[in-house]
């Protein structure tokens, strides 16, 4: 809903009178704009009341000028529209309204949520005011630029729950009740009543199913559909095979216990186990670069960078944000990156860029108590590491049976690309690095 681009090479057309318009400026490198302003650039005439007009900048200017109408004839009404969703997303579902007609909203305050295949995003109010009405409904399929609500900048809140007036009440009370004759005619006879309400006879062989009143049917969210489609595509595309190993977590947990307080004091973030697993995975991917590669048609693409996706479970479904350039990060950087992405995932604030790409995935089912599982590859990657719960189990150490904190690891890989030898050596290296964490620090 942006107007045509203004060409700085043509001569300026004459200014036109109101209706009112806002002016939008942005750099060429930006793909979309969320915030709008009536502030004009230096050298452009200013007006006490913004009017529609075209102003031209020098050809050397890095800016382009666009205009977009938000005003009605009296300049009081503005429109809230669906924002840009990302290059790979063309539409979404209007999941829910966060406000009601008559509610007061501030500028940039969310009033509705759009659910897409990948993320949930907000529709924000462009101005402070009162919501006049919604022009879309929950469940509608919407595209960027579609109007969702009309907002009045000066109207008082609508009294949507006002009581009926006295005149109306009197009119309603003065309506005569239906005649008694009609009541008698509406009543069925005893014979008819017994026929109507007689229980339906069922065969003894028919199953007794619960009544439909005890069931609820709701539309499947788009994110859940997307997850299901991707997982099924993964099963249909990859020749998936899973190999397992177990890790004695004694030394790693001791290292964490010994240095956790100093780590927080210096870096301002807690030392978790996930950063250790990420560092171990980085070392294993560098040792077995085929695990970091991917099939593309008839070619194999080897990546000289390592971007690790971390699976995060939310109330709306599984999301997999990416920590980039992990091979260049230390433990503190990784922990900060994980905490930032986890917070955004919980708040539903992940963007498309946060989840794009990734060369390898780590999924921690152990936080929910999973003892062992076979994770499914996150397309288009070629492998995924599954972490599980840490459980005290009897193991043999130097000929003695001891109770040790043990974790099962699972590596699911695309057998079209990765042979069993590379997969086993990859998982074995992760095991060695975690059981002797000093090797992580010395890069051995």
CB contact at 8 A, 121 and 94 = no
What whole-number distance in Å separates Cα of residue 214 and Cα of residue 199? 19
Residue 34 lies inside a defined structural domain of this protein: no
DSSP state of 115: E
Residue 171 pLDDT > 80: no
DSSP state of 347: T
Structure tokens at 32: 């979309």
Q: Is 415 tagged catalytic?
A: yes
**Is residue 278 domain-shared with residue 399, that is, in the same domain?**
yes
Any idea what the Cα angle at residue 429 is, between residues 393 and 406, rounded to 5°?
10
- Pick the closest to residue 117 from 234, 235, 225 (CA basis): 225
**Is residue 289 domain-shared with residue 406, that is, in the same domain?**
yes
Q: Which of 167-171, 263-267, 390-394 has the lowest mean pLDDT?
A: 167-171
Residue 304 lies inside a defined structural domain of this protein: yes
Question: How many domains is the chain partitioned into structurally?
Answer: 2
Predicted pLDDT at 105 = 86
**Is residue 316 domain-shared with residue 435, that is, in the same domain?**
yes
Predicted pLDDT at 155 = 62
Q: What is the CATH number of the domain that holds 414?
A: 3.30.559.10
Predicted pLDDT at 118 = 67
Dihedral of CA 322/324/328/330: which sign? negative
Dihedral of CA 398/401/402/405: which sign? positive
Q: Which of 23-32, 219-228, 298-307 has the lowest mean pLDDT?
A: 23-32
User: How does 238-254 read in b/e, with b if 16+ C-beta sit within 10 Å?
Assistant: bebbebeebbbbeebee
Choose the most confident range, by mean pLDDT, from 42-51, 105-114, 400-409.
400-409
What whole-number distance in Å separates Cα of residue 244 and Cα of residue 242? 7
**Is residue 135 domain-shared with residue 254, that is, in the same domain?**
no
Q: Which of 95, 125, 152 is the last residue of a domain?
A: 152
Predicted pLDDT at 41 = 43
**Is residue 105 domain-shared with residue 247, that is, in the same domain?**
no
Q: Which of 152, 170, 188 is the last residue of a domain?
A: 152
Taking only the tens place, the pLDDT of each residue in 57-79 is 443 444 333 333 344 444 678 88
DSSP state of 44: S
Predicted pLDDT at 232 = 84
Residue 365 lies inside a defined structural domain of this protein: yes
What whole-number distance in Å separates Cα of residue 257 and Cα of residue 271? 9
Longest distance between any two alpha carbons in the chain, whole Å: 98
Taking only the tens place, the pLDDT of each residue in 182-211 is 444 454 544 444 444 444 555 556 667 777
Residue 244 lies inside a defined structural domain of this protein: yes
Name the more confident of 351 and 250. Answer: 250
Q: What is the CATH number of the domain that holds 113?
A: 2.40.50.100
Taking only the tens place, the pLDDT of each residue in 398-431 is 999 999 999 999 999 999 999 999 999 999 999 9
Predicted pLDDT at 205 = 63
Among the options 415, 432, 436, 443, which is catalytic?
415
- Pick the closest to residue 345 from 321, 367, 365, 378 (CA basis): 321
Predicted pLDDT at 22 = 44
Predicted pLDDT at 319 = 80
Residue 383 pLDDT > 90: yes
Predicted pLDDT at 206 = 64
- Pick the closest to residue 118 from 95, 82, 85, 140 (CA basis): 85
Predicted pLDDT at 429 = 95
**Is residue 130 domain-shared with residue 250, that is, in the same domain?**
no
Residue 48 lies inside a defined structural domain of this protein: no
Residue 294 lies inside a defined structural domain of this protein: yes
Residue 399 lies inside a defined structural domain of this protein: yes
Q: Domain range for residue 422?
A: 240-441
Name the more confident of 176 and 404. Answer: 404
Among the options 419, 432, 436, 443, which is catalytic?
419
Q: On the CB side of 78, how many CA atoms lie within 13 Å of its CA?
A: 21
Predicted pLDDT at 1 = 38
Mean model confidence pLDDT for the chain:
75
Residue 378 pLDDT > 90: no
Q: Which of 97, 121, 152 is the last residue of a domain?
A: 152
Q: Is 354 tagged catalytic?
A: no
Residue 51 pLDDT > 70: no
Residue 98 lies inside a defined structural domain of this protein: yes
């Amino acid at each position: 809903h942006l107007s045509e681009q203004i060409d700085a090479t043509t001569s300026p057309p004459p200014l036109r009178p109101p209706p009112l318009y806002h002016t939008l400026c942005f750099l060429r490198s930006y793909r979309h704009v969320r915030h709008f302003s009536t502030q004009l650039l230096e050298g452009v005439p200013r007006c006490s009341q913004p009017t529609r007009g075209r102003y031209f900048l020098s050809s050397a200017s890095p800016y382009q000028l666009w205009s977009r109408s938000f005003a009605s004839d009296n300049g009081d009404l503005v429109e809230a529209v669906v924002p840009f969703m990302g290059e790979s997303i063309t539409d979404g579902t209007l999941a829910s309204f966060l406000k009601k007609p008559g509610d007061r909203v501030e500028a940039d305050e969310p009033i509705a949520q759009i659910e897409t295949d990948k993320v949930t995003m907000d529709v924000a109010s462009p101005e402070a005011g009162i919501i006049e009405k919604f022009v879309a409904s929950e469940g509608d399929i919407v595209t960027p630029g579609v109007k969702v609500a009309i907002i009045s900048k000066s109207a008082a809140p609508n009294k949507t729950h006002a009581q009926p007036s006295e005149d109306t009440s009197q009119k309603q009370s003065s309506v005569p009740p239906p005649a008694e004759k009609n009541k008698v005619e509406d009543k069925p006879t005893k014979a008819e009543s017994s026929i109507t309400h007689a229980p339906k006879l069922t065969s003894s062989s028919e199953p007794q199913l619960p009544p439909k009143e005890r069931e609820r049917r709701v539309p499947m969210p788009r994110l859940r559909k997307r997850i299901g489609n991707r997982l099924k595509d993964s099963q249909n595309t990859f020749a998936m095979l899973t190999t397992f190993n177990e890790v004695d977590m004694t030394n790693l947990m001791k290292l964490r216990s010994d240095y956790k307080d100093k780590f927080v004091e210096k870096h301002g973030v807690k030392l978790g186990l996930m950063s250790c697993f990420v560092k171990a995975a980085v070392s294993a991917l560098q040792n077995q670069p085929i695990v970091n590669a991917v099939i593309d048609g008839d070619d194999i693409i080897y990546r000289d960078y390592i971007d690790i996706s971390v699976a995060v479970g939310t109330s709306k479904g599984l999301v997999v944000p990416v920590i980039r350039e992990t091979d260049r990060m230390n433990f503190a950087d990784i922990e900060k990156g994980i905490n930032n992405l986890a917070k955004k995932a919980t708040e539903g604030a992940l963007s498309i860029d946060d989840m794009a790409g990734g060369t390898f995935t780590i999924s921690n089912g152990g936080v929910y108590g999973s003892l062992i599982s076979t994770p499914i590859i996150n397309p288009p990657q070629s492998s995924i590491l599954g972490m599980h719960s840490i459980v005290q189990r009897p193991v043999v150490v130097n000929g003695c049976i001891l109770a040790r904190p043990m974790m099962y690891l699972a590596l699911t890989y695309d057998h079209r690309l990765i042979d069993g030898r590379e997969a086993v050596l990859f998982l074995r290296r992760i095991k060695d690095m975690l059981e002797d964490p000093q090797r992580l620090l010395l890069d051995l």
